[in-house]
Amino acid sequence: MKNTEKMSDSELIHKLREDTSSTECLLELISRHSGIYMTMVNNYTPGTNSSIPSFKNELISDKNYYIYQAALKYDESRNTKFSTYLGNETRWMCLNLYNKNKNQSFREIFLDQPEIKEMPEEEDYDQKIISKEFLNKVMSMIDNYKDQRVSQIFKMRYIDASTNKVTPWKQIGDSLNLSIQGCINIHNKTISKIKKELSKDI
């Protein structure tokens, strides 16, 4: 077999699927992508040294297993790099586990999340983490903004979306005759503004 260090991620995953006991291929994937996995776990499971969610320790100790599972589910036909896919899968998993374990409100997640810099590869964000009460408060704030596109973007993204999913940026952009990045920029600018307004109440 070809030296695993010289194989692409797709080749490693293909070999791993042919032989699920292919330890060398799995270890190479783990070696390459543990960094992105740990970055997502650390970024999306809040906690201090004295107060770390128990599921975070489980995510860390079961790192190899989750990378293995991601490799088996990876669909290269979507033209997404495995590292990007793994990062997104880990991110959503962390957010959903955090919600289930801590019953975290949308307010706290909304204030803590980093802004989206570019078009996300996945659109399977679980809307169950959004508190309807808080979302209504945010929308009432947004309705007073002069730029009517803000209200339209947030309404389409979070309220009119299908169950357990947000509306894809492309769909929003097409509806408003805006580019994907244009929608994201308006969204991020609004989030920054809302963070400042909400921080006054904390």
pLDDT tens-digit map of 89-133: 998 888 877 766 654 444 444 544 444 444 444 344 333 344 566
134-160 pLDDT, tens digit each: 677 778 888 888 888 988 888 888 777
159-176 pLDDT, tens digit each: 776 555 667 888 898 999
**In contact, 161 and 133? CB cutoff 8 Å:** no
d(CA 108, CA 127): 14
**In contact, 198 and 107? CB cutoff 8 Å:** yes
